[in-house]
């Protein structure tokens, strides 16, 4: 089965729409911006049937984009081309720009027998060709993105008002470290690229004097264990650099992830003295078996800059 790409005229229309949207997002007179966060869905046939309805309802809330932080299938379902192409068409049908991060269920866990015993690197290459083929988001209206140079096009960033949004390939399952004391070669190759993108994005936010930065990735990296000195090996260096960069950045920092399927908004990052860093907020998306989404609001008149509202699906109060 192959995916039919949009026609040239259709793509031109989308790109023009995305450029107009980007210009609007940069408007100096705007004071409030809205965006939506989802993850770990669809996992079941019922969620696959409900997700288009939820995406349409989210678009009705006039958000600038929808970000999916990964795991667009269950961990026990197959990583077949047909499923990938189904998700591609589903996300392309979003009425607002759609940003996707890779999760472990779509690549690093695909070597499981129940997943089809695929080569994880071959599946990641397939994802890159399908979802991150150019410098634009998915969706009927496309948002221009800056992608990291090199072989990791899933790493992207863009501005929304005074905030920089950054995507990272940081999957669950201990960041694909592996089951032994020595990390897998894939982790050894990818992790420095992830960390370089993280540092460079904070440097950009400082240089441009932005008010905030939002990091989007799939894994729950274990903030509590890190604060206790018990960091998971696959996430230790990432959290150490995140801690350092957050302390150096004068604005607000938000980390959005999925993975453990607990919808929550809290402040789990500690500084070097063990104190809560109140300029850092963690947002975890809804996840199977509870479906839903999170609304993010940037408001320059509030000292905290961000506020978040969670919405279960189906909506009980339409």
State the DSSP code for 26: T
Cβ atoms 280, 256 nearer than 8 A: no
Query: Does 190 map to a domain?
Result: yes
Block means of pLDDT (10 residues each) for the chain, 318 residues, are: 50 52 47 97 98 98 98 98 98 98 98 98 98 98 97 98 98 97 97 98 98 98 96 97 98 98 98 93 98 98 95 82
Query: Does 229 map to a domain?
Result: yes
Range of the domain at 265: 13-21+31-312
Burial (Cβ within 10 Å: 0-12, 13-18, ≥19) of residue 67: buried
- HEC profile of 76-128: CCCCCHHHHHHHHHHHHCCCCCEEECCCHHHCCCCCCHHHCCCCHHHHHHHHH
Query: Does 4 map to a domain?
Result: no
Sheet of 32-38, strands arranged across: 98-100, 66-68, 32-38, 292-299, 306-312
Burial (Cβ within 10 Å: 0-12, 13-18, ≥19) of residue 221: buried
Query: Does 183 map to a domain?
Result: yes
Burial (Cβ within 10 Å: 0-12, 13-18, ≥19) of residue 217: buried
Cβ atoms 62, 100 nearer than 8 A: no
Q: Please name the helix (run of DSSP H) or strand (run of DSSP E) that holds residue 240, with its range, or none.
A: helix 236-248
Query: Does 317 map to a domain?
Result: no
Would you state the pLDDT for residue 272?
86
Would you state the pLDDT for residue 136?
98
Closest to 3 measured CA to CA, from 130, 126, 101, 138: 130
**CA 239, 204, 164: angle at the middle one, nearest 5?**
75
Would you state the pLDDT for residue 2?
46
Query: Does 51 map to a domain?
Result: yes
Would you state the pLDDT for residue 10?
54
Query: Does 294 map to a domain?
Result: yes
Would you state the pLDDT for residue 315?
82
Structure tokens at 135: 């410098």
Closest to 173 measured CA to CA, from 67, 299, 309, 71: 71
Query: Does 149 map to a domain?
Result: yes
Would you state the pLDDT for residue 30?
47
Cβ atoms 78, 118 nearer than 8 A: no
Would you state the pLDDT for residue 20?
47
Would you state the pLDDT for residue 21?
55
The reported pTM is 0.91
- CATH code of the domain in which 233 resides: 3.60.21.10
- HEC profile of 246-272: HHHCCCEEEEEECCCCCCEEECCCECC
Question: For 137, what's the count of Cα atoms within 13 Å in the CB-facing half-sphere?
Answer: 34
Number of structural domains (the chain) is: 1
């Amino acid at each position: 089965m192959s995916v039919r790409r949009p026609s040239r005229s259709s793509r031109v229309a989308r790109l023009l729409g995305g450029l107009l949207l980007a210009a609007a997002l940069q408007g100096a007179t705007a004071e409030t911006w809205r965006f939506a966060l989802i993850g770990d869905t669809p996992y079941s046939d019922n969620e696959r049937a409900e997700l288009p309805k939820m995406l349409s309802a989210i678009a009705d809330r006039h958000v600038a984009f929808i970000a999916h932080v990964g795991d667009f299938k269950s961990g026990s379902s197959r990583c077949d081309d047909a499923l990938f192409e189904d998700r591609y068409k589903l996300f392309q049908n979003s009425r607002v720009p759609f940003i996707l991060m890779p999760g472990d269920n779509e690549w690093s866990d695909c070597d499981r027998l129940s997943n089809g015993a695929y080569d994880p690197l071959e599946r990641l290459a397939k994802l890159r060709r399908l979802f991150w083929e150019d410098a634009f988001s998915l969706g009927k209206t496309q948002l221009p993105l800056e992608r990291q140079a090199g072989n990791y096009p899933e790493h992207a960033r863009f501005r929304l008002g005074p905030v920089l949004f950054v995507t990272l390939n940081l999957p669950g399952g201990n960041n694909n470290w592996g089951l032994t004391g020595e990390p897998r070669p894939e982790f050894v190759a990818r992790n420095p690229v992830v960390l370089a993108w993280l540092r460079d994005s904070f440097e950009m936010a400082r240089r441009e004097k932005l008010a905030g930065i939002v990091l989007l990735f799939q894994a729950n990296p274990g903030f509590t264990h890190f604060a206790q000195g018990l960091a998971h090996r696959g996430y230790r260096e990432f959290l150490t650099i995140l801690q350092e960069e957050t302390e150096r950045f004068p604005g607000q920092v938000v980390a959005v992830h999925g993975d453990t399927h607990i919808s929550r908004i809290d402040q789990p990052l500690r500084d070097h003295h063990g104190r809560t860093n109140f300029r850092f907020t963690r947002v975890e998306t809804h996840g199977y078996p509870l479906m839903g989404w999170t609304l993010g609001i940037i408001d320059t008149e509030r000292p905290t800059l961000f506020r978040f509202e969670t919405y279960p699906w189906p909506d009980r109060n339409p």
